[in-house]
A and B are shown apart, each in its own frame.
Chain A
Amino acid sequence: MESESERVEITISSRFENIELVQVIAEHLCETAGLDDDGSHWIGMAVREGVANAIKHGNKLDVRKKVYAIFDLKGAQLAIVISDEGEGFDPANVSDPLNPQNLMKTSGRGIFYMRTFMDKVDYTFTPAGGTQLVMTKNLTHKSDSVNP
């Protein structure tokens, strides 16, 4: 694992086709830091879910609104911040997809997947509006499969 620090920022408009741009950066950064393919894939997946939520639920597909992603790699510690320009939401209202009542729902698994793939997932809300998602992962934590 390299000990150098790396910071990458990208701003995208709220289009689903831009999700992959951010995902690719995440995976490339992880691979550069020495993480294996599977580990990089799952972090990329968490990023994909975070950006998709920002575009769909945050900015409500308004292409004039932006999604900002910052990747901060310090040693083995990766911090990812994804921000939108929406109106925010109450994380407490997000239902548990493992609850039998929710098992067959067609939505509501994105945050669960992020929490599964990352060490820590937090949301903050600015007074001016917008949601900020902060996810962290220690890249020395090997993940051969989807182990929280």
Chain B
Amino acid sequence: MKTSTRTVDGVEIINLQGKITIGSGDSQLRDIIGDCLKDGKTKILLDMKGVTTIDSSGIGELVGSFTTATNRGGKLKLLHLPAKVTDLLQVTQLITVFEVYEDEQEALKSF
């Protein structure tokens, strides 16, 4: 998985590209979120537009990242969720857990 980060209005927008699967991207996601929180960056927006594949491990890391951010007083939200990722979150009823946005400006305003 490739990532790039930019800060807009105090929100860390992390662009994820590629696979978030077991052994490839799942632990990377955990590390990125952990580093943000360690640096005091508690408003995190994950831009998922470039995610090509995610599996149950990747979904688990999303859940873990959300919990870690919340427990440290932060907020983690999702942007541009691909249809298949939405499907996976829906069948496991996790779609109700995350705040999901299609528009970046709208997402930024929500923090």
Contact = CB atoms under 8 A, between A and B. Distances in A.
Name the residue in B21, B24, B92, B93 with the highest tally of chain A Cβ atoms < 10 Å from its Cβ: B92
A105 B57 contact: no
A16 B83 CA distance: 25
Given A17-B23, A52-B22, A106 B64 contact: yes
Nearest to A116: B91
B59 interface: yes
Interface string B66-100: 11000000000000000110011011111001000
Size class of the contact patch on chain B: 20 to 34
A107 B55 contact: no
Nearest to B62: A106
Contact of B56 (A98, A113, A145): A113
A48 B88 CA distance: 14
B22 A109 contact: no
Which DSSP category, helix, strand, loop or mixed, fits chain A's interface?
helix
A-B pairs, 6 with minimum CB distance:
A16-B23, A106-B60, A106-B64, A109-B56, A146-B87, A110-B56
Given A19-B21, A48-B55, 12 more contacts: A19-B23, A48-B21, A52-B57, A56-B22, A98-B92, A106-B67, A107-B60, A109-B60, A110-B55, A113-B56, A146-B87, A146-B88
Interface of B: 21-24, 55-57, 59-61, 63-64, 66-67, 83-84, 87-88, 90-94, 97
